């Protein structure tokens, strides 16, 4: 499994007609997803640390040394992205605990079950995210 994706063995949430949005079952479903994702990322971080400790060598050949440093640098950048993702996951778990999970932080509307399953750390509804990306594109 690629550690930077949300491909889990957990099944998609099956909505029941008329059920309340972000009810206990939904919150538990997303808590499970977020905790599993965080656990997988933490295992990947541990593997990287052990790999770098075990494979660190002082190659006499400058090309070999440069290749290893380049590989380690790439791994560290990937782990840094994952560290930021872990922070977002932890924020999402706190939002669940606070009762704010699943609602757009800009306009307050429901983000939606399917969007949250695709991106469990989403904090914006699709409309606000689209506007945000348009503004970013115009300014960038």
Residues at the binding site are 104, 107, 125, 128
Q: Collapse the DSSP code of 110 into the 3-class scheme (helix H, G, I; strand E, B; otherwise coil) and give the result.
A: strand
Q: Which two tokens stand for residue 43?
A: 């295992």
> Which token pair is 21?
């949005």
> What SS3 state is found at 94?
helix
CA gap 24, 95 in Å, rounded? 14
Q: Can you say which residues are annotated as belonging to the binding site for Zn(2+)?
A: 104, 107, 125, 128
Residue 34, exposed/middle/buried by CB under 10 A (0-12, 13-18, 19+)? buried
Radius of gyration in angstroms for the set of CA atoms belonging to the chain, rounded to a whole number = 19
């Amino acid at each position: 499994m690629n550690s930077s994706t949300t491909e889990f063995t957990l099944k998609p949430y099956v909505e029941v007609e008329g059920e309340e949005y972000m009810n206990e079952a939904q919150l538990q479903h997303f808590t499970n997803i977020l905790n599993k994702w965080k656990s997988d990322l933490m295992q990947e971080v541990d593997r990287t640390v052990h790999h770098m400790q075990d494979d660190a060598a002082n190659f006499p050949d400058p090309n070999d040394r440069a290749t290893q440093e380049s590989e380690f640098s790439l791994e560290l950048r990937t782990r840094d992205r994952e560290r930021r993702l872990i922070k977002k996951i932890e924020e999402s778990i706190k939002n669940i605990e606070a009762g704010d999970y699943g609602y757009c932080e800009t306009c307050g509307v429901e983000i939606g079950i399917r969007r949250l399953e695709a991106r469990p750390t989403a904090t914006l509804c699709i409309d606000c995210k689209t506007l945000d990306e348009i503004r970013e594109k115009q300014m960038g």
